[in-house]
């Protein structure tokens, strides 16, 4: 993981105006279970690429969701939906964020959208998101203690 981090840092030094490097580095930190370190990188990617794309909006929304900011998560994830995103995690994130806010109607809409898209892609639900062996402990803890219960509470498969 240290080697990957150093590689991203070197890429930024080499090409500091490339938004995809910041987005990928932010995703690295999300996968490490450190969304608080990911968020500034996603914001830098957005500053360099103001129109953004569904991948960046998904990452921003997911980082906010991981930090417990459901309102900001919804804002960014809806931007991905507006781009007709094919990323199934966008719809799961919206289902969770709305469920966390107690908005069962909107949560149900995105649960159904997730189910439809996940089935078409062969995803089985939360098992498709389970951390692989060797995942960082902080992410595994987040997955088991927050994501999994919120996923189930939202009604996702």
pTM of the predicted model over 0.85: yes
Q: What is the pLDDT along the chain (157 residues), one digit of tens a residue?
A: 889 999 999 999 999 999 999 999 999 999 999 999 999 999 999 999 999 999 999 999 999 999 999 999 999 999 999 999 999 999 999 999 999 999 999 999 999 999 999 999 998 888 878 899 999 999 999 999 999 999 999 999 9
Residue where the block lists tokens 């990452």: 59
Please report, in angstroms and rounded to a whole number, the separation of the first and last CA atoms in the chain: 31
Report the alpha-carbon distance of residue 39 to residue 58 in Å, rounded.
12
Nearest Cα neighbor of 26 from 37, 18, 13 is 37
Residue where the block lists tokens 């103001």: 50
């Amino acid at each position: 993981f240290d080697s990957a981090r150093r590689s991203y840092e070197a890429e930024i030094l080499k090409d500091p105006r490339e938004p995809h490097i910041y987005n990928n580095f932010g995703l690295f930190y999300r996968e490490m279970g450190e969304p608080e370190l990911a968020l500034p990188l996603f914001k830098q990617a957005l500053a360099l690429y103001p129109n953004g794309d569904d991948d960046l909006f998904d990452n921003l929304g997911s980082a906010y969701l991981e930090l417990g900011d459901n309102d900001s998560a919804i804002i960014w994830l809806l931007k991905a939906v507006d781009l007709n995103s094919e990323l199934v995690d966008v719809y799961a994130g919206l289902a969770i964020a709305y469920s966390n806010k107690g908005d069962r109607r909107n949560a149900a809409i995105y649960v159904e959208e997730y189910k439809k898209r996940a089935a078409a892609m062969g995803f089985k639900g939360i098992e498709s998101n389970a951390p692989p062996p060797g995942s960082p402990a902080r992410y595994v803890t987040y997955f088991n203690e927050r994501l999994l219960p919120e996923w189930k509470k939202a009604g996702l498969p």
